Amino acid sequence: MVLLKIGDKAPEFKLKDKEGKVHSLSKSKYKVVYFYPKDNTPGCTIEAKEFTSDLKEFEKLNIQVIGISGGDEKTKTKFCDKHNLKILLLSDIDFSVSKKYGVYGKRKFMGIEYLGISRITYVLDKSNKVIQVYDKVNPKNHSKEVLYFIQTL
């Protein structure tokens, strides 16, 4: 896995949300693009709920929050409905976008190696240039950490 670095141009993508609508990177807003391992797992649920809780603060600053993982549209719908999530969650079913962003690769959990998405967050400017990378993410309070960074710009 080779992560994007500050100053890199973020790769464009076209991914579907829970309703099948295709989304790509906007060029009119700053963006928080966070990758998470799997819908409905404890850490991913905490992270998504916190971004949802802080969504109005991000919107006041004209920031778009995008979460990306490998689950399909049905999984995203169940995840959003179960936890009342309001953020935009996108399906990277074949992991092609995750690979371009350098977040897909070998992982280890409880001594077992597998391929999957690492919990990584990128903050992008209006031209989709990376201005911050979080590669050691603790789901608890991560949203506040990102919000604080953006407020200091």
**Residues annotated catalytic, as ranges:** 44
The helix (H) or strand (E) run that includes residue 67 is strand 63-69
CA 150 to chain centre: 16
Q: Which residues are CB-neighbours of 46 under 8 A, at least 6 positions away?
A: 139, 140
Contact 19, 144 (CB under 8 A): no
